[in-house]
Amino acid sequence: LAEELQNKPLNSETRELLKLLSKPNVKSQIFIRSQVSSAYYVPGPVDTTCRRFVKMFIKALFDYDPNEDKAIPCKEAGLSFKKGDILQIMSQDDATWWQAKHAGDANPRAGLIPSKHFQERRLALRRPEILVQPLKVSNRKSYEETIECEEIKEDAEYAGNHSGTYIAGFRRSFRLSRKDKKTNKSMYECKKSDQYDTADVPTYEEVTPYRRQTNEKYRLVVLVGPVGVGLNELKRKLLISDTQHYGVTVPHTTRARRSQESDGVEYIFISKHLFETDVQNNKFIEYGEYKNNYYGTSIDSVRSVLAKNKVCLLDVQPHTVKHLRTLEFKPYVIFIKPPSIERLRETRKNAKIISSRDDQGAAKPFTEEDFQEMIKSAQIMENQYGHLFDKIIVNDDLTVAFNELKTTFDKLETEAHWVPVSWLHS
């Protein structure tokens, strides 16, 4: 190889790689040889024909540090990345170690990353430990025993209570909340069967840039976050900032309509029989039962907001997100994360947690336990579903978080974003 390169104008990187060739490890030598060739050939624009050069981009769904990887043949040759990074694949010739670089990185040198197959295999082996156990211990068991799914508020009071502004169809979602131990409310069932589905092993997802065309529907905006973090507050602020541009879904219910309510405004009122049929036919994104009545968010209610050429704001439990990841909705998933406990104490001094009510039914101030629960729940969500989040916004100062949300929306509507290839080529 040295002879071959003798008369070539080597760049500093290639020279570095050549130095590494003196390493005794045979596997790393094989890799470095391929790197020297790629470092030498890739920079020339026409030279891409000289080697198999596939322009393929993937989104990393896990954090990777080659220094922590005992299996990698040569740690120096590894490429570290974070969950959510976009990588360009330079070679998939080896079944175990792909060569990749960070998308947009001017440096042509590729690094080694574990192949999808290899990563899936070893993650699957570790899965019981990393995925299932934490939830059993800290989330699932305690949730199932002590929580109920938050009640879909039976009146339209939420927006009114907080802002004096009534917004038709604005309802609280199906996110889980801790049960008020003083009340004896029945358990609110929330499609628990697949709530903690660990079937998917997140490794990489092939992605491609997508920019919404003016004649296309808006992407569905999915908001995820622990109870009390401020999803409703942020949603409410967005809605009142531009009622023509943003919309929320109208939920279905089987409870009787009250005199002041109109069908299709506060709720879509349907019979139990019809609701159950719709459940069978998978018409609901989420549904549940409360005080012998069903409540649910239908797929059609999302379609109807989008058909009005509005941005549909939907907050769901994180396990629901994967069902919404379709070409039709092209969801953009935003995780609203709590700040540190110190900042929660400071910023939420006068705030009330809506899902926790006193004997008179009024919302209660946050307790230390609420803050701890919020942070713990956010960590679990991020660990388990973080690979599905397109954006994380920390709701520390409300105005700052709201502005960040607005900027995110502006970019979403005007700039290209990476989306799964399967959405565009299916």
Ligand X SMILES: Nc1ncnc2c1ncn2[C@@H]1O[C@H](COP(=O)(O)OP(=O)(O)OP(=O)(O)O)[C@@H](O)[C@H]1O
Q: Does 66 bind ligand X (CB under 6 A)?
A: no
Near ligand X by CB under 6 A: residue from 150, 205, 370, 390: 150
Check: CB of residue 326 under 8 Å from CB of residue 419: no
Going by C-alpha positions, the residue among 128, 108, 113 that lies closest to residue 63 is: 113
Q: Determine if 354 is a binding residue for ligand X (CB under 6 A).
A: yes
* Token couple for 52: 């198999």
Q: Please, are residues 73 and 97 in contact by the beta-carbon 8 Å criterion?
A: yes
Binding of residue 348 to ligand X (CB under 6 A): yes
Candidates 28, 119, 177, 301; binder of ligand X (CB under 6 A) is: 177
Which region among 124-132, 170-178, 179-187, 249-257 touches ligand X (by CB under 6 A)? 170-178
Contacting range for ligand X; rule: CB under 6 A; set: 66-74, 107-115, 193-201, 346-354: 346-354
314, containing H or E segment: strand 311-315
Residue 339 beta carbon to ligand X: minimum distance, rounded to whole angstroms: 8
Minimum Å distance from CB 321 to ligand X? 16
CB-CB contact of 147 with 176 (8 Å): yes
Is 190 one of the binding residues for ligand X (CB under 6 A)?
no
- Residue 231 touching ligand X (CB under 6 A): yes
Residue 233 binds to ligand X (criterion: CB under 6 A): yes
DSSP letters spanning 108-134: ---EEEE-HHHHHHHHHHHHIIIIIHH
Q: By three-state DSSP, how is residue 88 classified?
A: strand
**Residue 229 or 419 having the CB closest to ligand X:** 229
Least spacing, CB of residue 66 vs ligand X, in Å: 38
Decide: is 288 part of the binding site for ligand X (CB under 6 A).
Answer: no
Spacing of C-alpha 236 from chain mean position: 21
Residue 29 host element (H or E) = helix 26-41
Judged by CB under 6 A, does residue 178 bind ligand X?
A: no
Least distance (Å) from ligand X to the CB of residue 223? Answer: 9
Q: Strand pairing of 221-224 and 86-91? A: unpaired
d(CA 170, CA 41): 58
Candidate residues 73, 78, 230, 420; the one interacting with ligand X per rule CB under 6 A? 230
Going by their DSSP bridges, the two strands 56-60 and 204-210 should be labelled as antiparallel
347 lies in the site for ligand X, by CB under 6 A:
yes
| Sites of contact with ligand X (CB under 6 A) | 150, 172, 175, 177, 225, 227-233, 347-348, 351-355, 395, 397-398, 401
